[in-house]
Structure 1
Amino acid sequence: MYNQVVMDHFKNPRNVGVIEDPDGVGEVGNPLCGDMMTIYLKIDENEKRISDIKFQTFGCGSAIAVSSMLTEMAKGKTLDEARKISNKDVAEALEGLPKNKLHCSNLGADALHMAIQDYDDKKAGIVRPREEREEKHEHGDGETCYCPYCDVELDEKASFCEACQRDLTEEH
């Protein structure tokens, strides 16, 4: 299901951790869906360049691989260069993701862009209220849903995963 590049970044993730006193933080995801990603930035003020980047990700192998690859791609880049990193760039650098995991690449690019925005806001003296997290797991008509534990496709009203034998009433 996963290619060699994805497996390498999943098994040997780069830049895992927290930066104490970060210059920017971006957090995305929904704990009830199973993927949470936080990106921490340290910025070289003189060059406006990402001097250090770390991540903490709770999620599937794809989410961890995306976080690892994203940090490798962004480290050392100027803020303008990093702003241009897209979800498509991350997926391509990983040499593709399974179709049901492409949303993970969105999380990575979104978290990076949020961390840069957080840095820009701090520099401008802008304090934005933190968004209240919506813990509900909702679907639109026709959306496909996957088990947060084993990635098996599920009926969106499922409360139990037959594949991994887990209760989904709270997580799903």
Structure 2
Amino acid sequence: MAEQIGYSQKVMEHFMNPHNVGVIENPDGYGKVGNPVCGDIMEIFIKVKDDVIEDIKFRTFGCGSAIATSSMVTDMAKGKTLDEAMKITRDDVASELDGLPPRKMHCSNLAAEALHAAIEDYRKKQKSG
């Protein structure tokens, strides 16, 4: 019998059927972060209307945990105000997924960072626009 390597059912679901995969053309905000150690790269695209994340998509090159955390963070951020979304932490992402193996916690950190980077990009554009 194959032994499960410490991944929750939720992690497996988001890995097998990730939500919000894709690219938004001309996004209002774009964030890209990478972890040179493991080689994971995450991109998050957001559309914002009235200070709320109306649409969000991600493109991730990485392990199953990286894909699952990206999927979860986009689910969590959709429909939230920018301020609410900025408060999403790696621990929030991991606990929504019913936990991650300790050596995969950096994935939830990347997912939160990519989201925050997209929001910061949007805010920068608003100031310069």
- Bin the TM-score by the shorter chain: over 0.9
CA distance in 2, matches of 1:109, 1:49: 17
Residue 19 (structure 2) aligns with: 14
TM-score by length of 2: 0.93
RMSD of aligned C-alpha atoms? 1.2
AA at the equivalent of 1:99: P
Q: 2:60 aligns with which of 57, 62, 71?
A: 57
Residue 26 (structure 1) aligns with: 31
Q: Kindly, what percent of the aligned residue pairs are identical?
A: 65
Give the helix-richer structure, 1 or 2: 2
AA at the equivalent of 1:19: I
Q: Is the contact between residue 14 and residue 72 of structure 1 (CA under 8 Å) also seen in structure 2?
A: yes
Pairwise mapping of residues 4-153 of structure 1 onto structure 2 (< 5 A)?
A: 4-30=9-35, 33-44=38-49, 47-125=50-128
Structure 1 residue 3: deviation in Å?
1.1
Which segments of 5 or more consecutive residues in structure 2 lack a partner in the other structure? none
Per-residue Cα deviation, 1:49-89 (whole angstroms, up to 9, x for no partner): 00000000000000000000000000000111101111110
Report SS of the residue matched to 2:20.
coil
Q: Which deviates further from its counterpart, 117-126 or 80-89?
A: 117-126
Q: Which deviates further from its counterpart, 117-126 or 65-74?
A: 117-126
Q: Is the contact between residue 34 and residue 60 of structure 1 (CA under 8 Å) also seen in structure 2?
A: no
Structure 1 residue 43: deviation in Å?
0.2
Which segments of 5 or more consecutive residues in structure 1 lack a partner in the other structure? 127-172
Higher relative contact order, chain-length normalized (CA < 8 Å, sep 6+): 2
Report SS of the residue matched to 2:18.
coil
Report SS of the residue matched to 1:85.
coil
